[in-house]
C-alpha cells in the first residue's frame, strides 16, 4: 500500500499480460475456437494489453494431441494463423512447464517464430530444470520469465536460494505465482520484499499471477503494484483454473496509463465470455475454492467437487480437514 501519492498517476514500466487462453485453457482443455482467439487478439490490441499468452508449449510425447485443444501445444504455425507476423506493439507469450515441455525441439529460434516470450513455470524443487529452459530460450532470442508456482507452500529459505539461482540467469522477470489462492495482501508484502531483494541485485523485474480463491486476486495484484511489481497477469472475466484469476476488467479499470482502455474488455466479456459460461464452462469463486485456498492446498479436490456437480460444501470441508 505504498505510492499513495501516485494513485492518480501511473508507472510507465507496468506491463499487463492476458493469460486467458493459458489459465482459462485449464478450464476447457484449451478448446477455444480460432474465431474466439482471433477476437481476443484484436481486443487485447484495442485494450492496450502488453503481452498475450496463447497457452502452453506442452510436450506432444507426454500429452495426447487428440485430447486437448491446440493451445495446449501452441505450435508456431497455429499462433501465426491468428496473428500473422504480429506487426503490433503487443508481444506474444507462451508458457512452458519444467518437465512437461520438449523445449529443445519444440521451441525454435525466435527469429523464425511469432512468439516473443517464453514463461517458464516451475516448482521450488525443479529450479535447475527451469534454469536450463530459461537459458535455452534466451539463447534462441526470447524474453523469458520464471514463474515460481505454489509460492505459499515453499519454505522462505528455499525461496531465497531459488531466487538467487534464477536471478543469476538471463531471465527478465521473476514471477510470484499464488497457485493456491492462499496469500493475504499482508503476506504478499513480505514475499515481494524477498523477490525485490533478488531482483534488485541482478536487475530483474517482478511479476504477479494471482488466483481468486479468497476473492483477493485483484486486491493482491494492486497491492503488488503499490509495492513496485511491474508485470501483472490478468484474464478476461477472471477465467482460469478453479476460482480463476485477477479480472482484466478490474485491472484495466485500476491502471491509469492512458494506453489502457477498458471498454473493449467489457465488450469482449459481454460478447464472448458470457457465451462460454452459457455453454457450461465453469470457473470462478465458490466455497470449495475458498476452502482449499485457506488450507493452502492444491485446488484439484475443489475442481473435482465442481466437476462432480456437488453442492455439499460443508461435507467437502470435513473431507479436506480430515485429509490433513
Site residues (vs a copy of itself, CB under 8 A): 1, 3-4, 7, 184-187, 189-190, 212, 214-220, 222-223, 226, 247, 249-250, 253-254, 263, 266-267, 269-270, 274, 287, 290-291, 294, 311-314, 317
Q: Which C-beta is closer to a copy of itself: that of 24 or that of 293?
A: 293
Q: CA 15, CA 49: separation in Å to the nearest integer? A: 8
Q: CA 192, CA 243: separation in Å to the nearest integer? A: 23
Tell me the closest approach of the beta carbon of residue 199 to a copy of itself, in angstroms.
20
Phi, psi for 103 (deg, rounded to 5): -65, -30
Q: Which C-beta is closer to a copy of itself: that of 150 or that of 189?
A: 189
Q: Which C-beta is closer to a copy of itself: that of 203 or that of 314?
A: 314
Q: Which C-beta is closer to a copy of itself: that of 81 or that of 196?
A: 196
Q: Which C-beta is closer to a copy of itself: that of 108 or that of 287?
A: 287
Tell me the closest approach of the beta carbon of residue 166 to a copy of itself, in angstroms.
25
Tell me the closest approach of the beta carbon of residue 236 to a copy of itself, in angstroms.
11
The radius of gyration computed from the CA coordinates of the chain, to the nearest angstrom, equals 19
- The cell numbers describing 306, all together, are 465442481
Tell me the closest approach of the beta carbon of residue 193 to a copy of itself, in angstroms.
10
Q: Which C-beta is closer to a copy of itself: that of 108 or that of 321?
A: 321
Q: CA 180, CA 294: separation in Å to the nearest integer? A: 9
Tell me the closest approach of the beta carbon of residue 155 to a copy of itself, in angstroms.
16
Tell me the closest approach of the beta carbon of residue 171 to a copy of itself, in angstroms.
28
Amino acid at each position: 500500500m505504498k505510492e499513495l501519492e501516485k494513485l492518480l498517476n501511473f508507472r510507465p514500466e507496468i506491463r499487463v499480460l492476458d493469460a486467458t487462453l493459458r489459465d482459462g485453457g485449464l478450464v476447457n482443455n484449451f478448446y477455444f475456437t480460432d474465431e474466439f482467439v482471433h477476437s481476443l487478439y484484436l481486443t487485447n490490441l484495442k485494450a492496450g494489453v502488453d503481452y498475450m499468452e496463447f497457452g502452453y508449449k506442452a510436450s506432444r510425447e507426454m500429452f495426447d494431441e487428440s485430447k486437448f485443444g491446440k493451445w495446449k501445444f501452441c505450435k508456431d504455425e497455429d499462433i501465426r494463423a491468428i496473428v500473422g507476423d504480429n506487426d503490433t506493439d503487443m508481444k506474444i507469450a507462451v508458457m512452458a512447464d519444467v518437465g512437461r515441455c520438449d523445449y529443445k525441439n519444440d521451441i525454435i529460434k525466435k527469429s523464425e517464430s511469432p512468439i516473443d516470450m517464453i514463461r517458464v513455470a516451475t516448482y521450488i524443487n525443479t529450479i535447475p530444470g527451469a534454469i536450463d529452459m530459461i537459458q535455452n530460450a534466451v539463447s534462441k532470442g526470447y524474453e523469458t520469465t520464471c514463474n515460481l508456482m505454489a509460492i505459499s507452500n515453499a519454505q522462505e529459505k528455499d525461496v531465497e536460494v531459488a531466487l538467487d539461482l534464477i536471478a543469476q540467469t538471463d531471465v527478465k522477470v521473476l514471477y510470484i505465482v499464488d497457485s493456491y489462492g492462499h496469500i493475504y495482501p499482508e503476506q504478499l508484502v513480505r514475499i515481494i520484499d524477498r523477490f525485490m531483494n533478488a531482483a534488485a541485485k541482478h536487475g530483474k523485474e517482478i511479476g504477479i499471477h494471482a488466483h481468486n480463491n479468497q476473492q483477493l486476486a485483484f486486491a493482491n495484484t494492486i497491492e503488488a503494484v503499490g509495492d513496485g511489481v511491474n508485470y501483472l497477469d490478468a484474464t478476461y472475466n477472471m477465467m482460469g483454473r478453479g476460482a480463476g484469476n485477477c479480472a482484466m476488467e478490474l485491472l484495466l479499470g485500476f491502471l491509469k496509463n492512458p494506453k489502457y482502455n477498458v471498454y473493449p474488455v467489457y465488450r469482449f466479456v459481454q460478447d464472448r465470455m458470457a457465451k462460454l459460461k452459457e455453454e457450461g464452462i465453469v470457473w470462478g469463486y465458490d466455497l470449495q475454492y475458498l476452502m482449499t485456498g485457506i488450507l493452502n492446498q492444491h485446488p484439484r479436490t475443489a475442481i473435482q467437487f465442481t466437476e462432480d456437480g456437488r453442492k455439499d460444501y460443508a461435507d467437502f470441508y470435513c473431507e479436506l480437514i480430515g485429509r490433513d
